[in-house]
Amino acid sequence: MQLTGACLCNAIAYEFSCTGNEVADYCHCRQCQKSSGAPILPWVQVPPQNFRITRGHAKPYASSTHSTRWFCPDCGTPLYMTDHANRSVGITLGTLDTPNAVHPTVHGWASERLTWFQITDDLPRYPQAPPYDL
């Protein structure tokens, strides 16, 4: 399946391919909370060779010793994250042109879930990062 997405101001656009069986997670980590301003940030993980920017240039921010977050320098939209080992690209589901095309399959970093944010689904929960198996 080929999917596309863009930032809020449409300065940056991307496309990627996926099978529909990728790990898509609701991330509850503190970095995702701070970068998005929300209690969770949903992602889908794909191999780097399946992802490409089709318009514009995202700005990098090294958010940890092992990952870089990429966002639009004009509107601030968090778009994707890469790891320094070049194993995966995590794409924010809210930036997809068809956000219902990918459904989260797990909760990651449940140990950092905000206590007032209630989870009512039966998806698996991982105290830290879920296994992405890429």
Report if residue 125 sits inside a domain: no
Q: Mean pLDDT over residues 105-123, rounded?
A: 95
Q: How many residues does this entry show for the chain?
A: 134
Q: Identify whether 108 is part of a domain.
A: yes
Tell me: the pLDDT tens digits for 72-109? 999 999 999 999 999 999 999 999 999 999 999 999 99
The domain that holds 77 is classified in CATH as 2.170.150.70
Number of structural domains (the chain) is 1
Lateral strand order in the sheet of 59-62: 59-62, 67-71, 78-83, 89-92, 41-46, 24-27, 106-108
- Three-state secondary structure call for residue 95: helix
Of the pLDDT bands very low, low, confident and very high (cuts 50, 70, 90), residue 134 is very low
Decide if 134 is inside a domain. Answer: no
Sign (positive or negative) of CA dihedral 122, 4, 74, 90: positive
Cα separations in angstroms, 54 against 6, 8, 65, 112: 9, 15, 27, 34
Q: 12 in a domain, yes or no?
A: yes
Angstrom distance (rounded) from CA 50 to CA 21:
14
Residue 104 belongs to some domain of the structure: yes
What is the pLDDT at residue 52?
A: 98
Its domain, for residue 70, covers 2-112
User: Is 132 domain-assigned?
Assistant: no
Q: Which residues contact 37 (CB under 8 A, 6 or more apart)?
A: none
The mean pLDDT value of the chain amounts to 94
**132: pLDDT strictly greater than 80:** no
